[in-house]
Structure 1
Amino acid sequence: MKQWSLKKLKHFFVAVVGITILIIGIAMIVLPGPAIVVIPLALGILATEFAWARRLLHMVQERIQRSGTNTKNNNGQNHRDKSF
């Protein structure tokens, strides 16, 4: 039997945990639950080991930042959200 190095074991563990949480988060899109929190959490876990997850996480972060700064007030005028 082949010996698994500690690095490969960590890579495997992160993949299993991250993908499991990601699947749960995707299911929460149609089921009750905080999908908007769980999906970025899963991507954050996967981003520690996978470049594709890191890129996807950055895309999600940019989209969240853009949606928060381009809100409109009651008069229909754009204003910057200063709650952060």
Structure 2
Amino acid sequence: MSPSPMSGAGHPDPAASPMSQARRPSRRWRRLRTRLRIWRMRMHAHPVLSLTWRTVVATVGLIVLLAGLVMCVAPGPGVAGIILGLAILATEFAWARGLLRYARSWGHRAKERAVQKARQHRREHDHSASALRPAPDSD
């Protein structure tokens, strides 16, 4: 490898190594999350901005939540809309965090029930298919 002025003569450039390149997105993500957290803390310290922000979050979250409820009876991903709306509301409201936690646990339970039902259906189908097969001829 060619010597790098940043790392000294004869040493490979640490920024060019595959390990450091793999870590860059997560470091950037952590930095972005930290900056957003600081921005939110400053905004919540100002009473007018805090109220405005909570109003915007409540409006957007309720619109997405209501769209999810409508999609439960109309074509569309209703449950996903409800969970997304609750996730938006949960960024600012504690009551929405509790509902989101309940919705997640309900979703996990529903998934487990669906998997068990599919396994049971597959077992019943395999059992009935084996009963319908003709017995092998032993000539």
| Shorter-normalised TM range | 0.7 to 0.9
Q: Tell me which residue corresponds to 2:80.
A: 37
Larger strand proportion, structure 1 or 2? 1
CA distance in 2 between counterparts of 1:26 and 1:51 reads 21
Gaps in structure 1 of 5+ consecutive residues = 77-84
Larger helix proportion, structure 1 or 2? 2
Moved over 3 A (4+): none
Report how many aligned residue pairs link the two structures.
73
CA distance in 2 between counterparts of 1:64 and 1:32 reads 19
CA distance in 2 between counterparts of 1:29 and 1:36 reads 7
Higher alpha-carbon Rg: 2
Give per-residue Cα distances to partners, 1:16-59, cap 9 Å, x unaligned. 11111111111111111111211100000000111111101000
- Secondary structure at the counterpart of residue 46 of structure 1: helix
Q: 1:28 aligns with which of 58, 62, 71?
A: 71
1:64 deviation in Å?
1.4
CA distance in 1 between counterparts of 2:88 and 2:70 reads 18
Gaps in structure 2 of 5+ consecutive residues = 1-46, 125-139
CA distance in 1 between counterparts of 2:107 and 2:66 reads 21
Identity %: 38
Query: Whose relative contact order is higher, 1 or 2, with alpha carbons under 8 Å and at least 6 apart?
Result: 1
